[in-house]
Amino acid sequence: MTKNEHLSIEYPETLDQADVLGYKRAEFSIPDGLIYLDGNSLGVLPTAVKQRLADTVEIEWGESLIRAWNTHRWMELPNLVGDKIGALIGAEQGAVAATDSTSLNVAKAVSAGLSLNPARKVILTDNGNFPTDVYMAQGVVDALDKGHEVRIVNPQDIYDALDESVAVMMITQVDYRTGRRHDMQKLTDRAHEVGAIAMWDLAHSAGAFAVDLTACNVDLAVGCTYKYLNGGPGSPAFIYIAPRHQQHIKPMLSGWIGHKAPFDFDLEYQPADGVRRMNVGTPSVLALSALDTALDVWSDVDMSEVRNKSVELCELFISEVESRCSQYGLKLASPRDAESRGSQVSFHCPEGYAVMRALIANNVIGDFRAPDVIRFGFTPLYVSFTDVYRGAEILERVLEQKLWNTPEFMKKEQVT
């Protein structure tokens, strides 16, 4: 196929007809005519969430009022929802709590990891990690003030940097910019060989492909739920503590909902059993209710089918964009090998911010990451092959006609 010869539109339509996950798209509210390739930043609204929120507000809160903490099991939501997430990430029953934000959970997990390895002082991470993880780890170091350090290396150097000085290896499995994917099993095994605690951030993993924390023998994990898990903007994050560690951790953030008996109102903190001790404040009932129902879309999904479709979507997009747009300076930023990639594709793009603004104006939504990356997420439950083909086609038109070259699209907005 030459640079200017592209697949006919019948080809992606044929793929859509054979798509074993195609039926899931009907469970989401997708505006007509919109090609949404940003589920790696904010997932689409599952239709059933609308009624769940209405019921939570009108019936549970509106009619039951404070009785709802018991009659509608509000206090149990962090752990009930946590178990639903756990089923998608290979966690043992009762090992995940849905609570707080990813940033707060990073602080909890890092401090827990340090407490499990008290003779060591190094938190090892890489420069492809999401900045908030690094900020929070540094904040824990500063708060402890016991000579700990955050050591940052290149992603490819993590394995060799793991030595007997490392207390906690803190890694995000999938790079938020490029989609590069770390080998969880290999790095966790190496961390344990040198006596380090293995902590993983699954923000771009959970719901994107199969994760098995138990099989990989991971110690600690965190992640968000508003990306591939479609929990809604700012939906509660999650934290995982391997069962072998749970009773040995006294949380740095010791809130009353993590107390063994919160309604005894004892002034001395006693941690609850298991992962429940990682809860801090009163559960966010509206947000957890929305997330609870959002997770139901996964009840009949085979994660191997999700991964297979994800690879196919990404491969089609890479092929189409490279054949259409290479002459405009686009260069693949993501790993070419699918096994080394999550469920997103990124390109280095001159004037990338303005190009993405122009794409969005033409109903193709991705996002931009500084300094020059345009990023596209492929969420197999609702993205079609036709979406991918049309998205590449519109990107070509934006570049060919220089639709991005306007003052409006070059002006930076608050969120990119």
Residue pair 192/217 in contact (Cβ under 8 Å)? The answer is: yes
DSSP symbols for 269-282 = --BPSGGGGG--S-
Q: Which of 130, 176, 317, 389 is catalytic?
A: 130
DSSP 302: -
Neighbour tally for 260: CB within 10 Å: 13
Nearest to 227 by CA among 240, 213, 214, 238: 238
Question: How far does CA 349 lie from the centroid of its chain?
Answer: 24
Q: Which of 28, 226, 353, 378 is catalytic?
A: 226
Whether 226 sits among the annotated catalytic residues: the reply is: yes
Q: Which of 38, 175, 201, 387 is catalytic?
A: 201
Alpha-helical regions (H) of 75-183: 77-88, 102-116, 131-144, 158-161
Nearest to 278 by CA among 86, 95, 26: 95
Q: Which three-class secondary structure state does DSSP give residue 325?
A: helix
Dist. CA 363–CA 360, nearest whole Å: 5
Neighbour tally for 243: CB within 10 Å: 14
Q: Which of 108, 227, 277, 369 is catalytic?
A: 227
Whether 100 sits among the annotated catalytic residues: the reply is: no
Sign of CA dihedral 125, 130, 131, 135: negative
Token pair of 371, please? 């300094």
Radius of gyration of the chain (CA): 22
Beta bridge partners of 374: 347, 368
Question: How far does CA 104 lie from the centroid of its chain?
Answer: 15
Q: Which of 120, 357, 375, 382 is catalytic?
A: 375
Whether 67 sits among the annotated catalytic residues: the reply is: no
Token pair of 177, please? 């910019």
Residue pair 117/249 in contact (Cβ under 8 Å)? The answer is: no
DSSP 96: E
Cα-based distances in Å from 341 to 86, 122, 177, 224, 329: 22, 28, 11, 19, 22
Sign of CA dihedral 253, 258, 259, 260: negative
Whether 201 sits among the annotated catalytic residues: the reply is: yes
Q: Which residues contact 269 (CB under 8 A, 6 or more apart)?
A: 254, 259
Q: Which residues are catalytic?
A: 130, 201, 226-227, 375
